[in-house]
Structure 1
Amino acid sequence: MFLNTTLFKLYKTPLLLVFASLLFYISFAYDLVRTDYIKLVSLYTALCFLLFKLVKLLKTNIKLLTWLAFGFRAVFILAIPHLSQDFYRFIWDGRMLLEGFNPYLFTVESFISNGEFPVAQAKELYKGMGILNASHFTNYPPINQLCFVIAGLFSGKSILGSVMVMRLLIIVADFGTLYFGKKLLTNLNMPTYRIFWYILNPFIIIELTGNLHFEGVMIFFLIWSLYLLHIGKWQLAAVAFAFSVSVKLIPLIFLPLFFQWFNKRDISGVLKITHLISFYVIVGITTIVLFLPFYSSEFINNYTETVALWFKNFEFNASIYYIARAIGYTFRGYNEIAIIGQITPIIVFVFVLIITFFRRNKTTIELITAMLLVLSFYYFTATTVHPWYIATLLILSVFTKYKFPLVWSFVIILSYLAYLNIDKADKSENLWIIGLEYGIVYSVFIWEVFIKTPKTLKEF
């Protein structure tokens, strides 16, 4: 009894923080309506504060932090996501594949409008994903589709069952990220507790485990690839990188950045180029092989058409794009995205080339920092920035001196306030709220990148 009392006194504060976190996560998972924005922001703010206190108090107790990461995720196991509808399309795609259909060749709407229901619970899935999602071809790459198929195999007739299977896959990926993230931090002579700014972050727990976004699986393969690259196993790193691309296409933007990393590895200039080219070839061949089962001329057309929507049709939570759009409205007054959406990819490409050839990217930390800057620039100029996109920035920041992605992972919750008008005639975003979000993010970004010196940047 005395021992228990002593332990309680010793760990009283952490225990209270853990208990409060569990209560808030339970409320978030099972007792939150997404239009209840006061509760949404309050819960999220409280959880972010508790994250900060827990990591600071327990940063020397890696084992306990790991158990907490698992426990907080376990809270969501039986919860149906209520901040995103995408999982309904995930389930549809997986069941389509199991029924022998190529999901890249058919829209959901093409079946439903003809009164056809090719998969179990087709009506429920169609209603859940919404008309916009149902009217487009799927854009999820093959490894992502494999996850959907696994959900269909284990639970082909239950939406909740499929959700649970996908959630477990994402949790497994998160702990893979934890494992290789800690190893990479150790190899870089950085404190291993830094990985918990990602793994224990409420943003990651809610967006990936809770809302079932597969950025977590993509990030697992990306961090595994970076670890393999750091220890010299670049051939295996290329395969892991291709798997990351085959979950989400976004890592493709990093490919030019490897130029300097390979360029400093060998004495012979020819051998350097050979390794670099071989890396690209392995990535390309592995990615093509993974896409090959779905290949057809229709697939290429449908897939490129769907990916193009993110540049020419969709607008959400943008920053620089909204400013450019407002300027364009003053003298054109219509369809600015069609024009700006063609220009911004060129600007991003030029920026990537500048970072590739004119910034030092020879060490692993320099390479990861370059990745962080490139992806940040892409999101700053993008027409659509969904909350879960920031997950990749957050994991990259763990291995750098920058904290602005950590700040962004907190203020990104403001983007959900756009959903307040979902059932009203006015479905436009509140630009004041978006301005507040980006005002904070850009302030920290400019301070860290352009004003602070390396010596004044403090440890996490």
Structure 2
Amino acid sequence: MKTYLTLSLYSMAIVGMGYFLPRSAFIPQLTLYSISFCAYLFLVYTFKNQKYSLNFILISALVLRLLLMGAWPVLSDDFYRYFFDGQLIGLGINPYAALPGDLLANGTIPRSVYWETLLDKMNSPNYFSVYPPLHQLFFWISTWIGEDIFHNIVSLRSIVLVFEMINLWLIKELLINLKIPTYRLAWYAFNPLIILELTGNLHFEGMVLTGLLLALYFYSRKNVKFTALGWSLAVGIKLSPLLTAPIWIKSWKKSDFIKFTLITSLALLVLFAPLLLGGQLANFYTSFRLYQSSFEFNASIYYGLRWFSGFFIDYNPIGLLGPSLNFFAAALLLGIGFFKKTLTTSDLASNIVWMYLVFLLLQTTVHPWYLIPALGISLFTANYLFIVWSGSVFLSYHAYSQQVFKEDFRMIALEYLLLLIALVLIGYRYHKNKKSQIPH
């Protein structure tokens, strides 16, 4: 009975956030998110200590996601650019070739309420599209239904839900194959950040996770070809999984590594062919670099360095700090790849999680949905950092509580303080367990 009451309370919190509260209503949003996160923890505890079938977990998870089927994305406005790019493809226009505002001004796209709404509401009208071609494919599919934003939302949300069901199945299979308690599926199935950011706000990190899970699934079976294709799918959706590339250096014997590299290279050439052959790689790279060196949101180490630099310089050093931190992150990730040998699937998963943590802590922009791939992979490890972070990262949305975007660094400090406490506790537990294994 407590389980059903908790699911009902969770459902009401999700519905309240998805249908009735704007992004600017931070305190009510945070209250409902806190309720849903507490319900989430209770559900995981219940599934750990009571024998509920995996089918019950899967059906309950699907119902929670379906509750948001008719909701307008609340916490993000990225979807306006999704549909703008998708409609351009439908008209035979390369989304990397021109700026959105120019297309309307020169009459390339029609003047209508639909197109003008997309243009007015999007957050990147002065940038070339930074979404890879495979990402664009799903934008295009979501616009087949016509020029109606709500119908486009439902169409894309249906695609996201399909991938979510694939993720839940893959997690279940991997847990069983790796002989890990299957209740851990609930850590992903009921996480409110997952439900709100994927099903609710239509972000594609769930599809990135699908590729990484496929890579883990086939790696556990020593299938080089399909491991390579799974990882290539993740990179094809978003470039961020490239951060895990060094992990494969010590994951294969020499002949398999060569095979993996060749298949991955070929797959990525195919997936990025529309961009490479379209002659717009320079536009794509320009916007990507501009994003890396101009945008700031919910950073940790970068904000500390920026504050410290204020004692010596009187301008924002993001143009220097952003690339420098990326270079440092690349060096650390290469170090993990070279010095942390991967022996098992769980080892591979653990190294991927740590690589994501290093990468995100050194970024200038960390949106809440960036955590999702690492959170999903962490289920196969003893590392609960990203689960903790998924609870505190919602504090970053305080920046939208006013008409003018403004971050409250007390909120960000609290978010990362909770993450630091979790990191210390995990490190202490690891040290304690390792010490207890030493023979006396």
Query: Is TM-score (shorter-chain normalized) higher than 0.5?
Result: yes
Of 71, 96, 99, which aligns to 2:63? Answer: 71
Q: Distance in 1 between matches of 2:132 and 2:9?
A: 38
Do residues 160 (structure 1) and 141 (structure 2) align? no
- The alpha carbon displacement at 1:285 in A equals 1.1
Q: Distance in 1 between matches of 2:255 and 2:341?
A: 21
Q: Distance in 2 between matches of 1:394 and 1:346?
A: 24
Residue of structure 1 in register with 2:305 after alignment = 324
Q: Deviations over 1:377-418 (max 9, x none)?
A: 111010000010011121121111011110100111100001
Residue of structure 2 in register with 1:382 after alignment = 363
Q: Distance in 1 between matches of 2:43 and 2:322?
A: 42
Alignment of 1:137-176 (within 5 A): 137-153=128-144, 155-176=145-166
Of 114, 117, 121, which aligns to 1:124? Answer: 117
SS of equivalent to 2:143: helix
Q: Distance in 2 between matches of 1:410 and 1:211?
A: 17
Residue of structure 1 in register with 2:294 after alignment = 313
4+ runs deviating over 4 angstroms: none
Residue of structure 2 in register with 1:301 after alignment = 282
Do residues 434 (structure 1) and 412 (structure 2) align? yes
TM-score by length of 1: 0.90
SS of equivalent to 1:189: coil
- The alpha carbon displacement at 1:296 in A equals 4.3
* Structure 2 residue ranges without an equivalent (≥5): 436-440
SS of equivalent to 1:295: helix
Q: Distance in 2 between matches of 1:57 and 1:436?
A: 29
Residue of structure 2 in register with 1:134 after alignment = 125
Q: Distance in 1 between matches of 2:380 and 2:360?
A: 19
Root-mean-square deviation (CA, aligned residues, Å) is 1.8
Q: Deviations over 1:355-390 (max 9, x none)?
A: 112223222111111111111011101000001001
SS of equivalent to 1:395: helix
Q: Deviations over 1:140-172 (max 9, x none)?
A: 11221111111111x221111110111111111
Alignment of 1:386-397 (within 5 A): 386-397=367-378
Residue of structure 2 in register with 1:291 after alignment = 272
Q: Distance in 2 between matches of 1:405 and 1:215?
A: 14
Q: Distance in 1 between matches of 2:110 and 2:311?
A: 48
Q: Give the count of matched residue pairs.
A: 431
Alignment of 1:213-362 (within 5 A): 213-262=203-252, 272-296=253-277, 298-362=279-343
SS of equivalent to 2:72: coil
Q: Distance in 2 between matches of 1:16 and 1:47?
A: 12
Do residues 455 (structure 1) and 433 (structure 2) align? yes
Identity among equivalent positions (%) equals: 31
Contact 1:97–1:103 at 8 Å: present in 2 too? yes
Counterpart AA for 2:366: V
Do residues 91 (structure 1) and 83 (structure 2) align? yes
Do residues 194 (structure 1) and 184 (structure 2) align? yes
SS of equivalent to 1:331: coil
- The alpha carbon displacement at 1:91 in A equals 0.6
SS of equivalent to 2:237: coil
Q: Distance in 1 between matches of 2:126 and 2:40?
A: 39
Q: Distance in 1 between matches of 2:219 and 2:99?
A: 39
Q: Deviations over 1:212-258 (max 9, x none)?
A: 00111111121012101111111011112111111111111111111
Distance change (3 Å), C-alpha of 1:19 and 1:315 = same
- The alpha carbon displacement at 1:310 in A equals 3.3
Q: Distance in 2 between matches of 1:219 and 1:297?
A: 28
Q: Distance in 2 between matches of 1:376 and 1:326?
A: 22
Counterpart AA for 2:27: I
Q: Distance in 1 between matches of 2:276 and 2:232?
A: 17
Residue of structure 2 in register with 1:444 after alignment = 422
Of 197, 203, 211, which aligns to 2:201? Answer: 211
Do residues 404 (structure 1) and 394 (structure 2) align? no
Q: Distance in 2 between matches of 1:191 and 1:451?
A: 20
- The alpha carbon displacement at 1:90 in A equals 0.5
Contact 2:57–2:189 at 8 Å: present in 1 too? no
Residue of structure 2 in register with 1:9 after alignment = none
Residue of structure 2 in register with 1:269 after alignment = none
SS of equivalent to 1:109: helix
Deviates more, 1:51-60 or 1:41-50: 51-60
- The alpha carbon displacement at 1:295 in A equals 2.7
Deviates more, 1:70-79 or 1:332-341: 332-341
Do residues 49 (structure 1) and 41 (structure 2) align? no
Residue of structure 1 in register with 2:97 after alignment = 105
SS of equivalent to 1:82: coil
Counterpart AA for 1:444: A
* Structure 1 residue ranges without an equivalent (≥5): 1-11, 263-271
